[in-house]
């Protein structure tokens, strides 16, 4: 029996309008077998326990325990300035917020941002404890998934654009699996679906590792490892916990746009718009900070020696994320926290079918984007760029990058029309190339002829684009429309086999394309 069979135990009243096996394929792929087989699960038989954070028969769990089972390791560069040359048990970062209770060791702040339940479940799935959010009770028997945020704070950020106060975030997406074992006892498992490392407050830069149904990497290590960028503290996913960043392996969603691990910008220079291997320093074991895994976590043994868990490394304390208002009157700190704070958590979201469950699973992976720009190509006009599939971006296979539609109107009364399919290696790099091919309908006047003349040509355009986030620049007022603005400089040719016209193209506008 495969995953499709085991999903029937989700909840008999869950109103799926499409076959359950489809949801199975959307979650982890039909190749992952999780059904019960006697007292052992298929997951254990096939050696897939590496994606299981926890397994048990009691569905009642405190939020504080759940976030501890799923919490990541934070791994620092040996030259991280906030380490102050400390290693092992002496490491004191991530730090508590300045207004919060002090600590003798590292502190990480959590929020269970979203709890996914069935649309027909009209009862509360958790019992909130306002005085101590960690004591809030969850009922896993009525939950299908969770989004957990882990916020880590540093007193300052150094390097390019350095400043005081730096809050960063890693996210873990969890699927709650259940099955009936021996004697009809229901067993619950918390599975890793996705890990995301936020980078410099831009969703396009997210470093995302998603459990892939076609390339199920058994090298994956739990607790999941998050490498922290030197001086800048962006979060970078390290799927196999080897201390190296490997694009396409440690990050397998939006690979060309993912920020990666750029320790070198601590020097104050960007060097290159795309990640290069020499930008990252190798992590060493003494600079790992471990989560407070509960005693029955299946992953404690791997990092224990002589019965002691993580004997040579610091272990951080988990605390509920406080409101940014508590940072006042320090407005800079409050603003820094606000970007990573979810109000009124945990938020309950209902799903009525497999499509909505998939939408939740993919919510951080799909970015719907539209670009609008002023266009100058001998004559003035306007251009619009949008995803090739209209409602969904299409990533180019093998090489990465994006294929998008571009429509432009130009000349008197915007009478000329052009359509291109445009390819660009990335959406968000500050400098990148592009090329586009399509057709153009050009209306023009001829002396002594009353009617407009029409010419239709194949057109090809190639050049460079410069894009930047205006949120932290003197042009931040433009962020009312979108964070990304930029310039495109290109050369356009007419004709397919024979080129008979060349002209320059200049575009300025909003959007990543």
Question: Nearest-5° angle of CA 13, CA 121, CA 30?
Answer: 50
Q: What is the pLDDT at residue 151? A: 96
Q: What is the pLDDT at residue 382? A: 96
Q: What is the pLDDT at residue 33? A: 36
The residues with which 312 forms a beta bridge, in sequence order, are none
Q: What is the pLDDT at residue 4? A: 32
Answer yes or no: are the C-beta atoms of 231 and 157 closer than 8 Å. yes
pLDDT tens digits for range 183-226: 788 899 999 999 999 998 788 899 999 987 666 677 899 999 99
The structural domains of the chain, with segments of one domain joined by +, span: 3-361, 371-510
Residue count (the chain): 513
Strand ranges for 49-133 from DSSP E: 52-56, 60-62, 73-76, 107-118, 126-127
Options 2.40.160, 1.10.357, 1.10.150, 3.40.50; CATH of 371-510: 2.40.160
User: Mapped to the 3 state alphabet, what secondary structure does 423-489 carry?
Assistant: EECCCCCCEEEEEEEEEEEEEECCCCCCCCEEEEEEEEEEEEEEEEECCCCCCHHHHHCCCEEEEEE
Q: What is the pLDDT at residue 35? A: 33
Give pTM, 2 decimals.
Answer: 0.84
Q: What is the pLDDT at residue 472? A: 66
Q: Which residue has the tokens 């984007």?
A: 369
Q: What is the pLDDT at residue 13? A: 37
Residue 463 has φ and ψ, to the nearest 5°, of 175, -155
Residues of the chain with pLDDT under 50: 1-46
Q: What is the pLDDT at residue 27? A: 37
């Amino acid at each position: 029996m495969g995953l499709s069979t085991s999903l029937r135990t989700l909840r008999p009243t869950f109103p799926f309008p499409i076959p359950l096996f489809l949801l199975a394929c959307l979650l982890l792929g039909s190749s992952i077998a999780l059904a019960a087989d006697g007292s052992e699960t298929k997951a254990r038989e096939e050696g897939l326990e590496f994606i299981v954070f926890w397994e048990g028969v009691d569905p009642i769990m405190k939020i504080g325990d759940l976030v501890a089972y799923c919490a990541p390791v934070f791994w620092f560069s040996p030259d991280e300035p906030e380490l102050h040359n400390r290693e092992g048990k002496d490491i004191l970062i991530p730090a508590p917020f300045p207004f919060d209770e002090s600590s003798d060791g590292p502190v990480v702040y959590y929020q269970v941002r979203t709890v996914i339940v069935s649309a027909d479940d009209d009862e509360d799935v958790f019992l909130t404890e306002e005085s101590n959010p960690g004591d809030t009770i969850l009922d896993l028997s009525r939950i299908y998934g969770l989004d957990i945020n882990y916020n880590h704070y540093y007193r300052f950020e150094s390097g390019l654009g350095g400043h005081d106060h730096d809050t960063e975030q890693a996210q873990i997406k969890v699927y709650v699996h259940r099955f009936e074992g021996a004697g009809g006892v229901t067993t619950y498992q918390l599975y890793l679906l996705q890990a995301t490392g936020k980078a410099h407050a831009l969703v396009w830069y997210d470093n995302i590792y998603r459990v892939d149904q076609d390339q199920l990497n058994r090298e994956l290590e739990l607790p999941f490892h998050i490498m922290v960028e030197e001086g800048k503290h962006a979060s970078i996913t390290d799927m196999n916990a080897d201390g190296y960043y490997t694009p396409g392996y440690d990050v397998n969603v939006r690979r060309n746009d993912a920020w990666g691990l750029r320790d070198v910008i601590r020097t104050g220079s960007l060097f290159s718009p795309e990640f290069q291997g020499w930008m990252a320093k190798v992590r060493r074991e003494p600079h790992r900070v471990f989560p407070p895994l509960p005693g029955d976590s299946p992953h404690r043994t791997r990092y224990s020696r002589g019965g002691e868990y993580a004997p040579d490394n610091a272990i951080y304390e988990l605390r509920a994320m406080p409101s940014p208002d508590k940072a006042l009157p320090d407005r800079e700190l409050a603003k820094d926290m606000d970007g990573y704070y979810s109000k009124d958590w945990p938020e309950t979201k209902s799903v009525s079918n497999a499509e909505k469950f998939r939408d939740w699973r993919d919510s951080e992976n799909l970015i719907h984007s539209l670009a609008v720009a002023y266009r100058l190509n001998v004559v003035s006009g306007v251009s619009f760029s949008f995803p090739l599939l209209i409602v969904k971006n299409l990533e180019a296979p093998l090489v990465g990058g994006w294929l998008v539609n571009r429509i432009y109107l130009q000349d008197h009364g915007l009478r000329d029309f052009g359509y291109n399919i445009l390819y660009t290696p990335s959406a968000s790099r500050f400098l990148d190339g592009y090329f586009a091919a399509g057709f153009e309908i050009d209306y023009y006047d001829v002396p002594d002829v009353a009617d407009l003349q029409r010419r239709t040509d194949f057109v090809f355009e190639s050049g460079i684009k410069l894009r930047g986030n205006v949120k932290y620049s003197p042009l931040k007022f433009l962020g009312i429309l979108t964070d990304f603005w930029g310039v495109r400089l290109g050369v356009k040719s007419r004709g397919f086999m024979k080129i008979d016209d060349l002209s320059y193209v200049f575009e300025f506008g909003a959007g990543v394309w």
